Structure 1
Amino acid sequence: MAVPHGRSLADFLPLKPAEQLLLKHAALGGMTEISTQRPTDATPSNTVRAGFLRFLILGGDDLNPVHELGVMLKGAYVEGDLELRESRVDTSIALNHCCLQNLSLRGASVQGTINLAYSSCKSLKADLLTVSGTMCLDHLVAKGSMTLQKAKIGGSLLLRGSNLDGQGSYALIADSLVVRSIHFEEKFIALGEVCLIGAEIKGQLNCRDCTFKATNAFALSADSITVQGTVFLTTGFHSQGSVRFSGARITGQFSLKEAHFERKNKGENGETLIAQNAHIEGVLNMTGLIAPLDNAAFSGSRVGTLHDDARTWGKGIGLNGFTYNFLTTEAPLRAQERIDWLDRQIPANTGADGLKGSASKFRPQPWRHLQHVLEEMGHAEEAREVGIAFEKRLRKVGLIGQAPAGIPRGLRWLYRLPALGLHSLYGLFTGFGYRPMRLLAWFFGTWLVCTSVYWYAAVEHKVFAPSNPLVFQNEAYASCPPEYGEAWQRQHPAAERPADIGNWYTCKALRGEYTGFSPGAYSLDILLSLVDLQQEKDWGPITPTPFPGYWDELKNLEWGHGIRLLIWLETLIGWGISLLLVAIVSGLTRRKE
C-alpha cells in the first residue's frame, strides 16, 4: 500500500549518526541524548533532519514503530523546518536543549505533552493547536514571533526563564488561548508585545521575576482575559510599556505587589497600566510597588477589596466609575490620605484645569463612592471629612448654584449668588451637614454675645422697658422711666443716682407679678423662634421717634437703634439654625437611602 512521502523510513536512508541513535531510543521509549548543551552549529554527529524527526513524531511506520512515551531528544541540531501543521500526534513530544529552525504546529492535535525546554527556534507557529497535557517552553530562546492564537492546552503553558524576541514585532500572540495556567517566571524576558487578549485561563496567571519590554506601545495586552484563579504580577515583574487588562474578568485576586510599571521611554505620557471596565472579585493588591503608578486607568472597573499603600499611586490616574466594596491599607486609614489619592487623578477630573460650571470635567463619582465605602466600613469620621472636602471642591469648580437651563444667561447670577451664599453658610455653621454639633457652638456663642449686649444695654443705657402699655399708665411706676431718672439727676447733680430710679430693669417699684427682664432668657426667647418664654412679648428696647430726614436719623442713632438691629439679626440667626437642623436631618435621611 502506498504511503505519503516522509511516512516511511526508506525515505530517509541513509541515516545520520544522531538519527540512528534517535531511531533506536524512540522504539524503546528512552531519551536520546546527543549532548547535554544546546548546539549552536550543525555537525555530522548532532544533526537530525526535520523530516526524519517528523516521521518519528507521527509514529514511524509499521516496521519502525515509536514507543507510547513518544519521541524524546536532547542536544540535537534540527536541520530544516519541522512541519507538523494539521497533524495528529498520539504521543508526547520532548525536544530539550535542541536547536530548531521554524516549528509549525498550526491546527495540530497532540495527545500528550509538548516539551521544548532549553531549546531555541526562529519561530513557533501553533495557532489552533490542541494539547491534552502541558506545553513546556521553559528557557526557550525564540527569535521571531511566537503564535498560540486560539490554541487549547489541557495543562499549563510554562515559559519559565524563556527569552522571546519578536524582532520588532510581537513576542507572543496568544489571543483566545484556552489553558489551565500560564507561568512567566524565573527571569523570563519578552522583547515585543505579549498578547493574551480574550484568553481563558482556568487557573492562575503567574508573572514573577519577569520582564516585558515593548517595541511599540504595549508590553503586555490582556484585554478581556478571563482568569478563574489569581493573577500575579508580583515580585520581580517589570514592564517597559503599557500593561493592559481592560475588560478582564478575574475570579480570584489581582496582585501587583512589588511590581514595577514603567513607560516605554522615560518622559513620555503613555499609560503604565490600563485596567478599565475590569471585574476583579477578590483583592486588588497594589502594595510595595517599586515606583508610583503614573497614568494608570481603572475607570469603570469593579473590585472586591482595594489594598494599597502610600507609594502605590502616582499622577494622572483615572478613577471615574471605579468601585470597590472594601478598602484596606498598610497604614491606618486616614481621610486626608484618601483625599490626596483622589487629587492624583487626571487634572481635569479633579477640577484642577481651571474650567468652571458646565464646562468643568470634574468627576464626583470617586468622591461619593469613597465616602460610601468609608461609611459602610464604619469609618464615620473619615467619611465626613471626605464629604466636607467634596462640597468644597464642588464650590471650587463652580458646580454650586448652577441655574436651570431655562433661565436667561444674563439673569443666572440672581440664582447663583444666593445659592453660593447659602452653601457657604451651610458649610460655616454645620460643615455641610457633616458637623451638626457646630450648630450648638454657634447657638451658644450667639446666645452668650447677645445676652452680654442686652445686659450691658439694660444696666448702663436703660434701653429695655415693659411692652405692656398699661404699665406706663400706672402712677406707681413713675420712678421707673429713664426720663424720671434724668430729672432726678438734674435736681441732685452732686449725688449718685440710685440704681432703682430711671431704669425699668432695676426698678423696685415694678410689681413682682409682672415678668421680670432677664437678658439670658430674652436672648434665648429670640433665638428659639418656636418657644415662648414671655420675655420678647413683655419687654422691648426703647427707641426714639424717627426723624423725618435720613441724615438726621443717622446722626441721632442711639443704643435703642442698635439693640433693635441686634434683635432682628438674632431672630434671623435663630430661624437659620432651625432651617439648617431640618436640612441636616433630611440630608442624613437621603444618605442612608
Structure 2
Amino acid sequence: MNAPTDGASWGSERTVRAEVIAKLLLGARETEAGTVPAVRLRGARITGPLVLRAGNVGFELVLSGCHLDEPVDFNSGVTRTIRLTDCSMPGFNGGGMRVSGHLSLSGSSIHGTVRLARAQFDSGLWMGGTKVVADDEWALYTASLVVDSGTFLRNADFTGGVRLVGARLNGGLFLDGATLRNPGKVALNGESMVVEDVLSCTEGFTSQGCVRLRGARINGTFSMEGVIRSEDTKYALHCSHMEAREVYLKPAEPIAGAVSFAHAHVNTLHDDPSTWPDKLHLNGLTYDRLRGSGFARRIEWVARDPFGFLPQPYEQLAAWYMRDGNDALARRTQLAKLRARRRSQSVGGRALGGFLDVTVGYGYRPWLASIWFALLLAAGTAAFTAVPPRALKPAESPGFDAFAYSFDLLLPIPAFGQRDLFDPGGWTQWLAYALIVSGWLLATALIAGATRVLRPS
C-alpha cells in the first residue's frame, strides 16, 4: 500500500476541486474524434465531495496516489472503469452503481465504509492490498452484489466486517493473505452468496471474527488454509446448508471456536481432523468423497457434536466407507455409533448394550460369541472330567463324554443326547445351570445382534 499519509497538507499547486472532475466525467468538455478520453490524475489533493450520484459517465476515471478530502459518491451511477489506486479517502459509496469495466481500490487507504449494495461490475472488483478502517460494523458492505469477473481482495486489511450477503461472484472470490478484524462479531458474512470457480482463503488469510457462509453455494473449490479465531461468537466457521463441489479445509492452526457444517453438502471434502475444534456440528452434512485421515480419527471427528450423540454423522461416514468398498470400516463405524448411543441411554439400556457389545459386538462381531462358547466349553469339559456326573440309568447310559456333555448344556437343543442321561451333583450342578443359562444368553445375543444389524437404523 502506497497511499499518501500527508495529503491533507498538500498546497494549492497539487489541489484539484472535485466538482471539476465530476463535470469532466459528465461531459463538460467535448472530446476529440479518434481518442479514448479519460480523467487521469496522479499525486493530487482533491477537495470537496466527488459526487456523481445517478450520473451517466462515459469515460474512465483513474486516480493514483491521490488524497481525497471527502467520500466518493457514485451511488446509482452508470460508469466505465474506475481506478482509485494507492489513494487516501474517507469512504466510498457505490450503492447501485453499474460499471462497464471494473472498480479498483487496490493499495488505497480508506477511513470509512466501502458501500457497494446492489452494485454490478462487468469485469471485476479489485481491492488488492486495500486498507479499510470502518466507521461502523462493516468495512465492506454489499447486498446482492454482482461481479461478472473476479473479486480480488488479496492482502487487503479490513478493520470491520466484510459483508457479501447474496452476492453473485462469477469469477471467484480471492481473499489470499487478507486480514479481517471484527472480534466478537462477523468478520466475513457470505450468507447465501454464489461463487463460481473458487473461494480462496490461503497464503496467510486471517479472520478475527466469525466466517459465516451459511447457505452459500460454491460451484468450485472452497479452500481454507488460513487462520480463524473467534471463540467469543457462536461459531468461528459457520457453513451450515452450504453447497460446494470441493472443500479443502486445512487451516494453518486449529480453528479457535465452534464450527458448523450442519446440513451442508460437499462433493469432495479434503480435511485434517486434527485442525477441527472440540465443538463441531456435523449433523446433516453429506459428502460424496472424503479425503483426509485414518479410521480412528474419523470416528473421533464425528463424535464432537456439543449436543451429544447424533446418529447421522456416523451413518454418513459408514455410507462413504461402503461406497468406497471398505465394508469392514463401514461395520466398525456402525459399531462405534451403537457404542456412542449407549453412553446416552438409561442404566438398563447401557447394561443391555454392554452385554450385546461384549458378547457379539452388537451383531457386527459375531465371532465373539464363538470365543465365549469355546471358553465355556473348555471350562465345562475340564470340570466334568474331574468330577463326572452320575448316570440316571447306569445300565442303559452310554459312556460319559465331558466334552459332549458340556456341549449339550450350552446348546438350547441338545446335539449328543448326553444332557438328559447324566445328573451332576454338588457344585458341578450349579456349573451345569450356569452353562445352560450362558448358552441361552449367547443364542439370544446372536439373534438380537443379527436383528439389529439387519434392521434399518
TM-score, normalised relative to structure 1: 0.71
Per the TM alignment, residue 85 of structure 1 is displaced from its structure 2 partner at its CA by 0.9
SS of 2:270's equivalent in the other structure is strand
Matched, 1:302 2:265: yes
In structure 2, give the amino acid aligned to 1:164.
V
Q: Is the 1:294–1:317 contact (alpha carbons within 8 Å) kept by the matching residues of 2?
A: no
Q: Please give the per-residue CA displacement for 1:19-52, whole angstroms capped at 9, x wherever unaligned.
A: xxxxxxxxxxxxxxxxx97871343322222122
1:314 aligned partner, one-letter code: P
RMSD of the TM alignment (CA)? 2.7
Shift of 1:229: 1.7
Task: Say whether 1:155 aligns with 2:123.
Answer: yes
Check whether the contact 1:59–1:65 (CA below 8 A) recurs between aligned residues.
no
> Residue in 2 aligned with 1:275?
239
Equivalent residue for 1:444? 374
Cα distance in structure 2, aligned partners of 1:215 and 1:533: 77
Equivalent residue in structure 2 for 1:59, among 27, 37, 44: 27
- Shift of the 199–269 alpha-carbon distance from structure 1 to 2, 3 Å rule, reads closer
**Structure 1 residue 181: Cα displacement:** 2.2
Aligned residue type for 1:370: L
Superposed, which structure 2 residues align to 1:119-268 within 5 Å? Answer: 119-179=87-147, 180-185=149-154, 187-214=155-182, 217-257=185-225, 259-263=226-230, 268=232
Q: 1:425 to 1:215 in 2, by over 3 A?
A: closer
- Is 164-173 or 284-293 further displaced after alignment? 284-293
Aligned to 2:385: 455
Q: Work out which structure has the larger RCO, using CA pairs closer than 8 Å and 6 or more positions apart in sequence.
A: 2
Superposition deviation, residue 62 in structure 1: 4.1
SS of the residue aligned with 2:314? helix
Matched, 1:369 2:316: yes
Q: What are the Cα deviations for residues 432-486 of structure 1, in whole angstroms up to 9, with x where unaligned?
A: 222221111111111111111122222xxxx231x45xx54xxxxxxxxxxxxxx
- The total of aligned residue pairs comes to 452
The Cα shift of 1:270 comes to 4.9
In the TM superposition, what is the alpha-carbon distance from 1:379 to its structure 2 partner? 4.0
Change (3 A) 1:210 1:313: same
Evaluate the alpha carbon distance shift between residue 427 and residue 38 of structure 1 in structure 2; reply closer, same or farther with a 3 A threshold: closer
State how far apart, in whole Å, the 2-side matches of 1:65 and 1:104 are.
30
Secondary structure, counterpart of 2:443 in structure 1: helix
Aligned to 1:78: 46
1:333 pairs, out of 284, 289, 294, with 294
Q: Aligned equivalents of 1:437 and 1:223: distance in 2?
A: 50
Which deviates the most, 429-438 or 213-222?
A: 213-222
Contact in 1 for aligned 2:208/2:229 (Cα 8 Å): yes
Q: Check the 8 A contact 2:4/2:87 in 1, yes or no.
A: no
| CA distance in structure 2 between the aligned counterparts of 1:390 and 1:447, rounded to whole angstroms | 32
Following the alignment from structure 2 to structure 1, what is the Cα–Cα distance between the partners of residues 75 and 35?
24
| Match status 1:105 vs 2:77 | no
User: Residue 107 of structure 1 contacts residue 127 of structure 1 at CA under 8 Å; is this kept in 2?
Assistant: yes
C-alpha deviation, 1:172, in angstroms = 0.9
State the alpha-carbon separation in 1 of the partners of residues 359 and 375 from structure 2. Answer: 12
Instruction: Tell me how far apart the structure 1 counterparts of residues 384 and 295 of structure 2 sit (CA, whole Å).
Output: 45
Query: 2:273·2:301 contact (CA, 8 Å) conserved in 1?
Result: no
> Aligned partner of 1:439: which letter?
A
Q: Which of the residues 416, 430, 443 maps onto 1:533? A: 416
- Code of the aligned partner of 2:316: H
Larger Rg: 1
CA distance in 2 between partners of 1:241 and 1:104 (Å): 29
Give 2:275's match in structure 1, choosing from 312, 315, 329. 312
Structure 1: runs of 5+ lacking an equivalent: 1-35, 351-361, 401-415, 473-509, 543-559
Tell me which amino acid in the other structure corresponds to 1:571. I
Percent sequence identity over aligned pairs: 27
Secondary structure of the corresponding residue to residue 301 of structure 2 = helix
Indicate the SS of the match to 2:409.
helix
Counterpart in the other structure of 2:441: 576
Output the CA distance in 2 between the equivalents of 1:246 and 1:451.
65
CA displacement at 1:103 relative to structure 2: 1.0
- State whether residues 239 and 262 of structure 1, in contact with CA within 8 Å, keep that contact through their aligned partners in structure 2: yes
